[in-house]
A and B are shown apart, each in its own frame.
Chain A
């Protein structure tokens, strides 16, 4: 990898996308690296689709240019499709398979695609897709709300020591989360890390 790392985290309002980016940012700062993030606020937060850009290293713009994400973390499957314009043929996708159906689907105005179809579509851009059930891991070791931290453990694994290590992210968890949530989230982080071979 070059001197910059672009991570796009997408999901649904309430899944802790902002928390994830803040943990990564503190982990990067521990390493003395430059870091910029950019987030969605306001109207989009009300159960809507949420994106956060995290950029580490030699970067100027807070937004990842189209086609330039090194890693996409999708906390919800269809959200990966919605942000496909940030991916390229080398992008690594960590896709949490747990569906959150939008109200448009609940009331019959739209259909939710099969997970296989989602993956097939993503594969037209990149072959590097890790489909995981981070929500199940979170429920097992902590609670479902820790899904966003489980995927950070997975992130540490796929980075293989480049830019950020598990220890850096552990530091990020300690630095950003309130003390009462630290232990349970460290467990979630570790479980995510160990779940990928």
Chain B
């Protein structure tokens, strides 16, 4: 809660992991935060955006929702080169987008503190893959930190800024779903006093221009910095050894440390077993080899417990000790950890019995009669109307993109054929259009279009390709919590200017551009038909605010939200269920009804009903 995030020094407050990271940034006296939202990272910058105006005049900083992660990263680079502190936040796949900047900035080095927070998503709760971003540290030759809990997350952000400036290195701060979306008690520190202050520009082409002659020198400088910070990590206060008995030890990485602690306690309640030596590790790269050697000295075996990939395990393998973990088959290679997973792994390695029969518990079949409750597009969602129109207009090949609208994959819409990554709807449509016989209608959200949809659309114009792109403009970044984007003209903190979608599309050279209200299904179908018939790339902007925001806005203005109902003349043709879908429409006892508590009054179902049997509540009785 914002009130807690803004609490006074010395207070103990209850914060979400992402809020703790935001507070850490405030206590670090950041000068700017930039991001593209993505679960599970979004609340970090959302919190800093909310806090911004409250701290104005005391601890000044800029907040930027950038068009994409690469842009966010480069905004951070600019700040760092000006000697300012920059926090950049994104989800794990966001760093793929920013990777080009990351690798080169490693060579340039940080001037003002630079911390990029990347939030991994083990088990893929809301992501398309399960990548482990510690490899970016290895590959780009940059330090990676990973906290073991909510309070430590806040502290480690501050340390990351200090280390970044001390060693001249951009820092990668790795969090993941279970840490970002857990809450715990946080000890608040001091918020520094700081005003906005412009600085003079100092040219340093020998480091800031990575032309080959410079880069060849800078690589050696980077390696030297990395060696220095590795020595620091050998004595780092966030890495520690806990003594124990036996000749088998455990290396517990980040939040896995909490699972290891609890698993050992559970195992001790069931078995005659002394706590083994534990190395708690929060510096993931460079791997502090001397510290690990000190820990493994005298041990025969060591079990590594870490999220996603066998990253530390592979590094430790080079040492003179038997290493167990994912590669040895003692820990699972896929999906996120928890106490039972870790407890079963430790039990296997130490020859113990788990405190509970977890496998039997997991195999209980109680939920077999529970009807599935998948996430659905909200009542009144303009995307539902758009997908309905695409199918009616004759769309046959349907590449789509990343956002709420990915749910258009579900029955009865089934209007999403591919989802790869941000912007890939238009990108994949380019390739499909060379070879596939069928009417290609690609869908992309407004925020996603600004993020990565413009280059593939320019490509389509340039290469004379032929397909229809529907920009589903709900005037927000819906999925991640309604962040603004260039098309809204609203900024995170302060005034902004709107970038017109239709102007952008026309500017890219698209000749067929039409804008239609998403709720006007008849017009939308006609427009999409024309777009499909158009020879060349065509764009239809289907525009209506996200139903959640629309309803919120009407309530704020005191406008009545009028629900719809099914009248007597319903013939139960079921078109509203078999062709269309809305969580507010249900079938009970062979009759169709509308849940007035859920209906937002968009009237789309009324417009598609062949019998005109759906009417505003209280009308036509």
Which residues on A are within 8 Å of B, measured CB to CB?
Answer: 12-13, 21-22, 25-26, 29, 34-49, 59-63, 65-68, 78-79, 81-82, 84-85, 88, 101-113, 117-118, 121-122, 124-125, 176
Q: Are B39 and A62 in contact (CB under 8 A)?
A: no
Shortest distance from the beta carbon of A165 to any chain B beta carbon, whole Å:
19
- Contact, CB under 8 Å: A109 / B411: yes
Q: What is the chain B residue whose CB lies nearest that of A50? A: B373
Kindly name the residue among A101, A104, A106, A122 whose own CB sees the greatest number of chain B CB atoms within 10 A.
A106
Residues of B546-596 contacting chain A, CB below 8 A: 577, 581, 583, 585-587
Give B321-380 interface residues, CB cut-off 8 Å to A. Answer: 338-340, 343, 356, 358, 361-362, 364, 366-367, 369-378
10 examples of A-B residue contacts, CB within 8 angstroms: A42-B480, A43-B375, A43-B479, A47-B373, A49-B373, A81-B367, A85-B361, A85-B364, A103-B374, A107-B586
B375 near A48: Cβ-Cβ < 8 Å: yes
Q: Are A40 and B370 in contact (CB under 8 A)?
A: no
* With A25-B14, A43-B126, A47-B376 as contacts: A62 and B178 at CB distance below 8 Å: yes
The residue in chain B whose Cβ has the minimal distance to the Cβ of A117 is B369
Q: Is the CB of A61 within 8 A of B371?
A: no
9 residue pairs, one from A and one from B, having the closest CB atoms: A42-B126, A62-B182, A110-B371, A42-B39, A84-B366, A106-B586, A60-B258, A65-B339, A46-B375
Closest chain B residue, CB of each to CB of A101: B586
What's the least CB distance linking A33 to chain B, in Å? 9
Q: Which residue of B14, B150, B577 is within 8 Å of A26 (Cβ)?
A: B14
Given known contacts A29-B12, A36-B183, A106-B587, A65 and B369 CB-to-CB distance under 8 angstroms: no
- Residues on B with C-beta less than 8 A from A79 are 370, 373
The distance from the CB of A91 to the nearest CB of chain B, in whole angstroms, is 11
Cα distance A39–B364 when bound, in Å? 23
Chain B positions within 8 Å of A25 at CB level: 14, 183
Cβ 8 A contact of A63, one of B339, B374, B376, B583 = B339
Tell me if A102 and B371 are in contact (CB < 8 A): yes
Beyond A85-B362, A113-B369, 17 extra complex contacts between A and B, CB < 8 Å: A22-B14, A38-B178, A39-B183, A40-B181, A41-B39, A42-B126, A42-B480, A47-B373, A49-B373, A61-B259, A65-B262, A65-B340, A66-B338, A107-B412, A112-B371, A121-B366, A125-B366
Instruction: State whether B125 touches A12 (Cβ < 8 A).
Output: no
Contact of A37 among B182, B343, B376 (CB under 8 A): B182
Q: What are the residues of chain B within 8 A of A12 when measuring CB–CB?
A: 373
Let me know if B378 and A41 touch, CB within 8 A. Answer: no
Complex CA–CA separation, A125 to B585 (angstroms): 35
**B58 → chain A closest CB, angstroms:** 24
B94 within 8 A of A: no
| Min distance, Cβ B93 to any Cβ of chain A, angstroms | 14
Can you list, as one digit per residue, whether each of B68-79 has a CB less than 8 Å from chain A (1) or not (0)?
Answer: 000000000000
* Chain A nearest CB, measured from B70 CB (Å): 23
- Does B299 have its Cβ within 8 Å of any Cβ on chain A? no
Q: Closest B-chain residue to A106, C-beta based?
A: B586
Q: Assuming A26-B14, A65-B262, is B369 touching A47 (CB within 8 A)?
A: no
* B261, CB-defined interface residue at 8 Å: yes
| Residue ID in chain B nearest A114 by CB atoms | B369
Query: Cβ of B371: which chain A residues have Cβ within 8 Å of it?
Result: 78, 101-102, 104-105, 110-113
Q: What is the CA–CA distance of A37 and B412 in the complex, to the nearest angstrom?
A: 37
- A61, A84, A110: residue with the most chain B Cβ atoms closer than 10 Å: A61
Cα–Cα, bound, A118→B248 (Å) = 46
Is B266 an interface residue, CB under 8 A from the partner?
Answer: yes
> Given A35-B14, A46-B376, are A66 and B184 neighbors across the interface (CB < 8 Å)?
no
Q: Is B513 an interface residue (CB 8 A)?
A: no
The CA-CA distance from A125 to B125 in the complex, in Å, is: 28
* Contact A61:B338 (CB < 8 A) given known A25-B14, A42-B125: yes
A34 contacts B185, C-beta separation under 8 Å: yes
- Known pairs A26-B14, A103-B583; A81 contacts B375 (CB<8 A): no
Q: What CA separation (Å) do A48 and B404 show in the bound complex?
A: 13
B619 within 8 A of A: no
Closest to B371 in A: A110
Known: A42-B39, A47-B583, A121-B366. A102 touches B266 (CB 8 A): no
Question: Across the interface, do A66 and B362 meet the contact criterion of CB distance under 8 Å?
Answer: yes
| Complex interface bits, B123-154 against A, C-beta within 8 A gives 1, otherwise 0 | 00110000000000000000000000110000
In the complex, A103→B584 CA distance in Å?
9
Checking B40, B358, B480, B585 against A67 with a beta-carbon cut-off of 8 angstroms, the contacting residue is B358
Would A63 and B178 count as touching, CB distance under 8 A?
yes
Query: Which of B259, B266, B407 has the largest number of chain A CB atoms within 10 A?
Result: B259
Interface residues of B in 1-42 (CB under 8 A from A): 1, 12, 14, 39-40
- Distance between Cα atoms of A111 and B12 in the complex (Å): 47
Provide the bound-state CA to CA distance between A84 and B367, in Å. 7
Q: Which of A107, A109, A113 has the most CB of B within 10 A?
A: A107
Binary per-residue interface labels of chain B (374-396) against chain A in the complex, 1 for a CB within 8 Å, 0 otherwise: 11111000000000000000000
Give a binary string over B172-183; 1 marks a CB under 8 Å from any A CB, 0 the rest.
000000110111
Closest to A62 in B: B182
User: How near does chain A come to B572, taking the closest CB pair, in angstroms?
Assistant: 12
Query: Which of B258, B261, B375, B583 has the most C-beta atoms of chain A within 10 angstroms of its own C-beta?
Result: B375
Q: How far is the CA of A22 from the CA of B16 in the complex (A)?
A: 10
**Complex contacts, A13 vs chain B, CB 8 Å:** 375
Select B377's contact among A40, A46, A122, beta carbons within 8 Å. Answer: A46
Verify A82–B367 contact, CB threshold 8 A: yes
- Contact call A103/B376, Cβ cutoff below 8 A: yes
- Assuming the A-B contacts A26-B14, A36-B184, are A63 and B372 also in contact, with contact meaning beta carbons closer than 8 angstroms in the complex? no
When distances are taken between beta carbons in the complex, the residues of chain B under 8 Å from A110 are 371-372
Interface centre among A78, A79, A112 (most CB of B within 10 A): A78
